[in-house]
Amino acid sequence: MNKKKIFLSFPHLGGNEMHWIEEAFKESWVVPLGPNVDHFEHQLEDYLGDGRVVALSAGTAALHLGLVMLGVGQGDEVLCQSFTFSASANPVLYQGAKPIFVDSEADTWNMSPEALEQAIADRYRVTGRYPKAIVVVDLYGMPAKMKEIGDIASKYGIPVLEDAAEALGSEYRKAKCGTLGRFGALSFNGNKVITTSGGGALICPDNETAERVKFLSTQAREAMPYYYHKVVGYNYRLSNVSAGIGCGQMEVLPERVARRRAIHDLYSTLFKETSGIAVHDNPSEDFDSNFWLTTILFDENLGFTPEDLRQHLLSQNIESRWLWRPMSMQPLFADAPFYGDGTAERLFNHGLCLPSGSILTDDDVARVADAVKAFLQSKA
């Protein structure tokens, strides 16, 4: 095999990252907090156009502090999208709370508003209480149906935590993902739209909440001359060195998002005449996904599994990935209640994530599409 390896989503540096890292070294700001962290947060705030941003050590840390800020504690129930990465749900367990999983709907692949409302009604019937929070995910960059979900959330007075880890740059009705719930979480892990090598951010509604998140993320140390603590603290702040990478990445973010969308468009064109597979697309004008990953679904009656296609691509030196295995199908969450009709499970069994990194060339994308088509022909 002499064809070069095509990766799913490889880091794509902008060129200026080292400049910001050198700034940190020049000033010996090789610590958590510092000027790069402040600058990175301001860049994100300008880009998002709404909310106050606190940079943290991971997207998972952002989701955890989001739940803390919403007052989720021991024994509370938290509604969570089932079709997602486990990092959306694990922080519910960190808080000693109970995840209640909600299925997806076919348009966006995200939380079904109908299943959400059924879940809320049923939890009230069973426990006499409403769940404490709703964790909605913008999966693969596709915004969830936030209007419908927001209406249900306000009807029952339950706040929404938006997991926008995969959706930096995506828009729903012209508003940026991450700003659509009461709190929003972003991730800058190595495979996301931009990277800080590892990091995340919590998007907060105002200064007061942002200051509280900064306080909690730096060990919750009260303003006293000695170390004095009244509440549990965390060591979740982003390092000033990592933030330097983020400062450089923010300078090229619009280009990176544009490229991911162009790759999705190219796949859509290349598969236009191919029967049996469909490229997941924005369901209407309200949705403008960043297409962090381009995903496909294939006909249920073609007689192969995602693993068959994944192995075929691997034999061509192409990395692809199964869709997220729903939380309702994970041994870790076997006891958690689930509300839905099996939509996410069907997607999981008939889909695949294709290489989508902004670093890919048009030729790379064509090579992937050709390999998929050759596989389909061999099955026809």
Ligand X SMILES: *Cc1c(COP(=O)(O)O)cnc(C)c1O
Q: Which one, of 242, 176, 204, 215, lies nearest residue 53 by Cα?
A: 204
Yes or no: say if 186 and 165 are a contact pair by the CB < 8 Å rule. Answer: yes
Residue 163 in the binding site for ligand X (CB under 6 A): yes
Using CB under 6 A, which of the segments 14-22, 58-66, 103-111, 172-180 binds ligand X? 58-66
Q: How far is CA 130 from CA 146, 155, 213, 280, 363, in A?
A: 20, 11, 25, 34, 52
| Residue closest to ligand X (Cβ) | 59
Q: State which of residues 84, 104, 170, 239 lies at the interface with ligand X (CB under 6 A).
A: 84
Burial (CB count within 10 angstroms: exposed 0-12, middle 13-18, buried 19+), residue 274: middle
Burial (CB count within 10 angstroms: exposed 0-12, middle 13-18, buried 19+), residue 254: exposed
Residue 144 in the binding site for ligand X (CB under 6 A): no
Using CB under 6 A, which of the segments 19-27, 160-168, 247-255, 350-358 binds ligand X? 160-168
Pairing of strands 338-339, 98-102: parallel
Yes or no: say if 248 and 13 are a contact pair by the CB < 8 Å rule. Answer: yes
Q: State which of residues 21, 72, 146, 165 lies at the interface with ligand X (CB under 6 A).
A: 165
CB-nearer residue toward ligand X: 189 or 294: 189
Tracing tokens 């995340």 back to the chain, one arrives at 200
Q: State which of residues 32, 34, 51, 59 lies at the interface with ligand X (CB under 6 A).
A: 59
Residue 181 in the binding site for ligand X (CB under 6 A): no
Category of 169 on φ-ψ map: left (φ > 0), alpha (ψ -120 to 50) or beta: left
The CB-of-293 to ligand X minimum distance in angstroms stands at 10
The CB-of-163 to ligand X minimum distance in angstroms stands at 5
Residue 53 in the binding site for ligand X (CB under 6 A): no
Q: State which of residues 36, 88, 290, 295 lies at the interface with ligand X (CB under 6 A).
A: 88
Using CB under 6 A, which of the segments 69-77, 84-92, 143-151, 170-178 binds ligand X? 84-92
